[in-house]
Structure 1
Amino acid sequence: MKKILYIVLDGLGGRPEPSLNGKTTLEAAHTPNMDSLAKKAKLGLMDPIAPGIAPESDAAVLSILGYDVDKYYTGRGPLEAYGADIEVRDGDLAWRANFATVDENTLKILDRRAGRNLSTEEAKALAEEVNQKVKLDGAEFIFKATVGHRGVLVIRKKNGKLSANVENIDPGYKKHGPYSIAITNPPTEVQECIPLDDSIEAKESARLTNEFVKKSFEVLKNSEINKKRISEGKKPANIILLRDAGDSLPKIPTLNELYNLSFGSIVEMPVERGIALLTGMKEVPIEDSSNYRLWAEKTLYALEKYDGVYAHLKGPDIPGHDGLVNAKKESIEKIDAEYFTNLLPYLDFSKVVVVVTADHSTPCSLKAHSEDPVPLMIVTDGITPDGLDYFGESSCAKGSLGRIKGTELMPLLVKLARS
């Protein structure tokens, strides 16, 4: 049986950019290694969840690993918390959090990520202040800074349970059934958390969430850390935006239970770590997530040890959210030059099935996730290549894989590995 190497480039997909002569950032990027793979590959497009849905990373990753999100998904918050080593009990309310910048008088959002220059040390110190100074009526909470401006909030009611059926504080995302979808041209003000049903649990969740946001805002705007940031010409991290609540961890079978295969994971963000651990993958730590040569070394090490490897590289998503066309193009080129250059010479395609794809598209023109399908290629000995010359959205649209749903990919990879 062959091994499986599952490579996800976060936010890779895009739309034609006028500044790139109508090419996407992937198509315009100089990617000789991925293009050489494409020449040996079957290509296609994939809707991470389903056509017309602009997914968040967590729901998308679960889906492209083969899990039906409508059946298993319980919100991003619990996955983030699990990935940050925070316990989530049934009836806890777990939120994904962002430090952001607002106008102190109007609560108009000035920067959704506090300038994207909040150091992990600053974030952890601010979180410690919030944990020490904020008290909630009838509930306890844990607020933890994770990576940069990102964090997790878990609220636990002292008597009774809470419900995740509440709307987001973060105006950039709207609740859509169990998951949230990115909003194009969202409101600019911080939203009030409102219950989406008449249950006591949902009403309590909304009350406690609003109480936390208001009280933490008072702590953050008076923090010496933020006063120092302002004096340095930086934006204060004076509000905590919350989105994607969940009130339990998903109960899902592991990949080993589904396919009798062991998987290792190389990831850098808490949400992907949470998903990897919940699906039974073994963690392969990456000491420096910006070092793609090290990523390649870790990938090859993990391939020796496990039946499959899931490698999730964050790179292209960040400049996509920031609307930086050239930076996204350069991020893709860096991955090709440093990761794939140090990976491909050591792969034996008679012994491994390689897939390269994305969890979602993040077009620079939107600065948000979109509903566009993502590029997909599969390479292994024994398949008939499509004869296409490069890896990009346009070539993938011509590929023999057609347009598939995310849940269809993992069974296909396992079938190829066993053929």
Structure 2
Amino acid sequence: MKYVVVIGDGMVDEPLEELDGKTPLQKAKTPNMDFLAKNGTCGMLQTVPPGMEPGSDVANLSIMGYDPKKYYTGRGPLEAASIGAKMKKDDIAFRCNFITCENGLLADFNAGHISTIEAAQLIESLNQRLYSYGKFYLGTSYRHLFIYNDKTASQLKSTPPHDVVGEPIQEHLLKVGEDADKSVENREVLNNLAQKLNELMYKSFDVLGKHPTNQKRIEDGKKPGNMIWLWGQGPQPQLPLFKEKYNLKGATITGVDLIKGIGTYLGLTNIHVPGATGFYDTDYCGKAKYALEALEEHDLIFIHVEAPDEAGHAGDIYEKIKAIERIDQRILGKLIKGLPSMDDYALAVLPDHPTPINIRTHTSNPIPYAMYTPGCRADATEKYDEPSILKSFNESSKNIMEGYKFLNLFLNLPKSSENTKNE
């Protein structure tokens, strides 16, 4: 048996007045997701454990079968593995966004989706002018990395920039975390460290504000990447290899460094798909094509699509609907048609977390999943959307499952009693 997990990042939502009380998932045309829901098994999954921030890092670790409470150390170090940033013993990796600062406000958390080519020019200037603080590493678009050699930085409290768009930057800078050592001496050390790194962020404005790359973006009517934002920091994690844990050869297909980084730590093959951008214009068909080819040598493929999450952060209802429909038609549809025989394959679809349009950021609410393989025990679910799965879930008296247990369930889908008798 071979397995494919399709992850629509931030795909689920809340009912919207603009959609007459429906969610984008309800409004979207999703015949292939509905096929999995109707003929397979569905349920609710808690991918973000209580007390943890609802990020894609935590949620995707869960989906891939690893308990975040045990293995998670921060978003930054996961991305470091993807972009080749080597971490030393006391290094702390920060996720480093290019943001747009306007009149002291965080106006845009992704600097108008600045291109990687433009970002490379800005990263070069930061390393030339601010090298005494640490080293900047180029990622993709607005998503980059900063390595700082002081393990105490992991005790600082940081804020995801997509959570505070439109708010004063001064109110959301790095500060001493609630879990930090409360001793007076340590608090003084941490306060000084926070001050130093916050100073770095403000100095980046001096370097980037008048940079020719940003001046050209402004002339073209685009938002400049005129400041950095440090967040999601942590030390290098220790994760058991996927092959050793599940005895399967796995792979990832994604346009996002975070997912590639998780894959690197787990020993998964990160399959490069030309045109996989991590945005609305990602090559959905290319992801399906490469997945079908990869299944010849791999047992399990994680296909991750960032576009619904980006639409959620932008508050763009119709881009979210289009992203969901493209996942259904151009990925799931092509997989179902392109597999040699559905008898030997299992498919699952789910988001990692909700990214509701109305609040434009992640929540830790449980998410719906659907998984299917021929002969599996089917639920009474008719469609893949939030109300349909919640209704059948409540009627079945199932419990909300911890996220990291999802993969074991998927790998061992129960057969229907009728099918079992015929075997």
User: Is the TM value for this pair above 0.5?
Assistant: yes
Q: Is the 8 A contact 1:316 1:328 kept in 2?
A: yes
2:243 is equivalent to residue 256 of structure 1: yes
1:310 aligned to which of 283, 302, 305: 302
2:361 corresponding residue in structure 1: 368
Q: Is the 8 A contact 1:43 1:395 kept in 2?
A: no
Deviation of the 1:344 alpha carbon: 0.6
1:109 corresponding residue in structure 2: 106
1:121 aligned to which of 117, 121, 133: 117
2:386 is equivalent to residue 389 of structure 1: no
Deviation of the 1:214 alpha carbon: 2.4
CA distance in 1, matches of 2:189, 2:383: 52
Deviation of the 1:169 alpha carbon: 5.8
Q: Is the 8 A contact 2:253 2:302 kept in 1?
A: yes
1:406 aligned to which of 403, 406, 409: 403
Q: Is the 8 A contact 1:163 1:201 kept in 2?
A: no
1:416 corresponding residue in structure 2: 413
Q: Is the 8 A contact 2:308 2:324 kept in 1?
A: yes
1:111-165 deviation digits (Å, cap 9, x = unpaired) = 222223x1211111111111111142xx5x22123221111111225xxx54311
The alignment partner of 2:267 has SS state of: coil
Letter in 1 for 2:174: C
Q: Is the 8 A contact 2:116 2:140 kept in 1?
A: yes
Q: Is the 8 A contact 1:33 1:336 kept in 2?
A: yes
The alignment partner of 1:241 has SS state of: strand
Q: Is the 8 A contact 1:171 1:188 kept in 2?
A: no
Unpaired runs of 5+ residues, structure 2, are 277-281
1:268 corresponding residue in structure 2: 255
The alignment partner of 1:371 has SS state of: coil
The alignment partner of 2:237 has SS state of: coil
Letter in 2 for 1:280: G
2:273 corresponding residue in structure 1: 286
CA distance in 2, matches of 1:410, 1:67: 9
CA distance in 1, matches of 2:405, 2:159: 33
Q: Is the 8 A contact 2:49 2:69 kept in 1?
A: no
TM-score computed with the length of structure 1 as normaliser: 0.89
Letter in 2 for 1:285: H
TM-score computed with the length of structure 2 as normaliser: 0.88
Unpaired runs of 5+ residues, structure 1, are 173-181
Q: Is the 8 A contact 1:171 1:187 kept in 2?
A: no
Deviation of the 1:203 alpha carbon: 4.8
CA distance in 2, matches of 1:94, 1:53: 19
CA distance in 2, matches of 1:335, 1:224: 38
Q: Is the 8 A contact 2:57 2:75 kept in 1?
A: yes
2:221 corresponding residue in structure 1: 233
1:148 aligned to which of 120, 141, 148: 141
1:209 corresponding residue in structure 2: 197
CA distance in 2, matches of 1:65, 1:321: 24
CA distance in 2, matches of 1:201, 1:267: 39
CA distance in 1, matches of 2:290, 2:324: 19
2:19 is equivalent to residue 23 of structure 1: no
CA distance in 2, matches of 1:52, 1:79: 20
Letter in 2 for 1:188: P
1:167 corresponding residue in structure 2: 157
CA distance in 2, matches of 1:388, 1:192: 46
The alignment partner of 2:13 has SS state of: coil
Letter in 2 for 1:366: I
Q: Is the 8 A contact 1:54 1:360 kept in 2?
A: no
1:226-282 deviation digits (Å, cap 9, x = unpaired) = 222222222221111111111x21111111111211111112111100001111111
1:334 aligned to which of 326, 344, 351: 326
The structure carrying a bigger helix percent of its residues is 2
1:277 corresponding residue in structure 2: 264
1:175 corresponding residue in structure 2: none
Report how many aligned residue pairs link the two structures: 398
2:279 corresponding residue in structure 1: none
Deviation of the 1:388 alpha carbon: 2.4
1:218 corresponding residue in structure 2: 206
Change (3 A) 1:35 1:170: closer
1:54-203 equivalent positions in 2, closer than 5 A: 55-103=54-102, 106-116=103-113, 118-136=114-132, 139=133, 141-156=134-149, 161-168=151-158, 170=160, 187-190=167-170, 191-196=172-177, 197=180, 198-199=185-186, 202-203=190-191
1:24-47 deviation digits (Å, cap 9, x = unpaired) = 111110112221222211111211
Letter in 2 for 1:245: Q
Change (3 A) 1:130 1:80: same
The alignment partner of 1:416 has SS state of: coil
